Structure 1
């Protein structure tokens, strides 16, 4: 077992200032150099539509995030075309990932499954003072979010389906950020998912205080929503979008349903996802399908749990108190994985 960690980053202020703050931190971080090394063999596939078109579409959905990218670029002395490529979350090659999600009436628990070398190890609490909602959750591609919860008690997670037949559109992590920062309810999130362009095929799992849990199946061609409390890596409604082989994802879905029947409280539900003996936590890291973190969100309490690696007690974040002005004293979330390569935030 090798030790890994995520840095906890908290900030209150405008999007531009937040971007500049992150850029200053990135100067002394290995994240960007490591990303460039990873992307070099595939650099011809890492491209955006032209910057003006990107600015136009982002201005429609979340203009404040454009300011964040400007702040990042200014701090890093980077031209905007490169900043949009690195941080824009639109039309960029994405490594496939797995994921398993279970919801109850008052919580959501998510396993994020991917390859450790692509994980950037940043857990973010951000409260904007210009526009948008405060959000807590792990980041991806700096500006995006893997899963999370906002101040309006909306929770979001996503699961990969496939990247074939991709189209011009936003990546999953930027879509997660758009949902959390601009939507106050499941209904608003579903409307957004039907309105925005999608690069790849993903399921977005949504929960709010109305206790309504929805899975939104989204591809570059179609978006459909269904009520459900379990989601893995295949569609139920848009079956023509599924990968050819679905045995593993359907088996994992059935395992979650069976195991969660015996969970009598939230901690037991968390253990079903995080303890490998239950058959959901995965160690298939070389196949881009190993569980890196387990997140749990309680929208009615505005609390979040987070761990890296298997069979660990969660770090608890009281987001409600943070929104009232308290500071989080945790600076790093540490864990262990059965893998030899570090996250991109680690030397």
Structure 2
């Protein structure tokens, strides 16, 4: 087992200032150099190449995020075209991943399964003062979110289905950010998901304080919503979009349903996902399907749990207290994985 960590960052202010703050942090971080090495020369074939088109699309949905990218560019003394490529969350190939989600009327618990070498190790508290809702959750590609909760108690997580037949559109992490930044309820999030362009096929799981949970199956061609409290890596309604081999994801879905039936409280539900003895937590890191973190969100209590690695007690954050101006004293969340390489935030 090797030790890994996520740094905790907290910020209240405008999107531009938030971007500048993050850019200053990235100057002394190995994240960008490591990512450049991973992507290599092939990135120029997959990144957005039309900044004006991107600005037009983002202005429709969340114009303040453009200010955040401007702040990042200014702090890093970077051309805007490259900043859009690195931080825009639009039109870039995405590495496949796993992921499992279970919801109860009072909480969502989620395993994020992917390859550790692409994991940023950044857990973000952000409260904008210009526009948009405050958000708590782990980041991806700096501006995007892997999962999270906003100040209205809307919770979001997503699961990969496939990247075949991709199209121009937003990546899952930026879609997660758009949901949390601009939507106050499950209904608003479903409407947004039906309006925005999707690069790949993902399921987006949504929960708010009403206690109703929806899975939105989204591909570049069609978006549909269904009520459900379990989601793995296949569609139910858009069956024609599924990969050819989905036995593993169907079996994992049934395993979650069977075991969560006997979970009497949130901690037991968390253990079903985080303890490898239940066979949902995955160690298939080299196949980009190993569990990196387990997160739990409570939309009514406005609390969040987070762990890196298996069979650990969660770090608990009180989002309400943070929104009231009380910073958390936690600076770093540590954990262990059965993987030899580092996260990209590690030397």
Q: TM-score range by the shorter chain?
A: over 0.9
Aligned partner of residue 341 in structure 1, secondary structure: coil
Aligned partner of residue 187 in structure 1, secondary structure: helix
In 1, Cα distance between equivalents of 2:49 and 2:233: 28
Q: Which residue number corresponds to residue 201 of structure 2? A: 201
Q: How far has the Cα of 1:42 moved from its partner? A: 2.4
Q: How far has the Cα of 1:94 moved from its partner? A: 1.1
Aligned partner of residue 68 in structure 1, secondary structure: helix
Q: Which residue number corresponds to residue 27 of structure 2? A: 27
In 2, Cα distance between equivalents of 1:60 and 1:172: 18
Matches within 5 A, 1:218-233: 218-233=218-233
In 2, Cα distance between equivalents of 1:47 and 1:24: 24
In 2, Cα distance between equivalents of 1:167 and 1:10: 34
Q: Deviations over 1:193-216 (max 9, x none)?
A: 000000000000000011110000
Q: Which residue number corresponds to residue 211 of structure 2? A: 211
Q: Which residue number corresponds to residue 136 of structure 1? A: 136
Aligned partner of residue 224 in structure 1, secondary structure: strand
Q: How far has the Cα of 1:182 moved from its partner? A: 0.2
Q: Which residue number corresponds to residue 161 of structure 1? A: 161
In 1, Cα distance between equivalents of 2:136 and 2:47: 29
Matches within 5 A, 1:1-347: 1-347=1-347
In 2, Cα distance between equivalents of 1:13 and 1:95: 32
In 1, Cα distance between equivalents of 2:175 and 2:320: 24
Q: TM-score, normalised by structure 1?
A: 0.99
Q: How far has the Cα of 1:96 moved from its partner? A: 1.0
Partners of 1:46 and 1:85 within 8 A in 2:
no
Q: TM-score, normalised by structure 2?
A: 0.99
Q: How far has the Cα of 1:47 moved from its partner? A: 1.6
In 2, Cα distance between equivalents of 1:177 and 1:91: 16
Q: How far has the Cα of 1:46 moved from its partner? A: 2.8
Give the CA RMSD over aligned residues. Answer: 0.6
Q: Would you identify which runs of 4 or more consecutive aligned residues in structure 1 move more than 2 Å?
A: 41-46
Q: How far has the Cα of 1:4 moved from its partner? A: 0.1
Q: How far has the Cα of 1:49 moved from its partner? A: 3.9
In 2, Cα distance between equivalents of 1:209 and 1:288: 33
In 1, Cα distance between equivalents of 2:314 and 2:285: 21
Q: Deviations over 1:277-308 (max 9, x none)?
A: 00100000000000000000000010000000
Q: Which moved more, 1:270-279 or 1:91-100?
A: 91-100
Q: How far has the Cα of 1:41 moved from its partner? A: 4.9
In 1, Cα distance between equivalents of 2:139 and 2:97: 15
**Which runs of 5 or more residues in structure 2 are unaligned?**
none
In 2, Cα distance between equivalents of 1:188 and 1:115: 32
Aligned partner of residue 306 in structure 1, secondary structure: strand
Q: Deviations over 1:10-67 (max 9, x none)?
A: 0000000000000000000000000000000522433204000000000000000000
In 2, Cα distance between equivalents of 1:238 and 1:103: 21
**Which runs of 5 or more residues in structure 1 are unaligned?**
none
In 2, Cα distance between equivalents of 1:96 and 1:59: 29
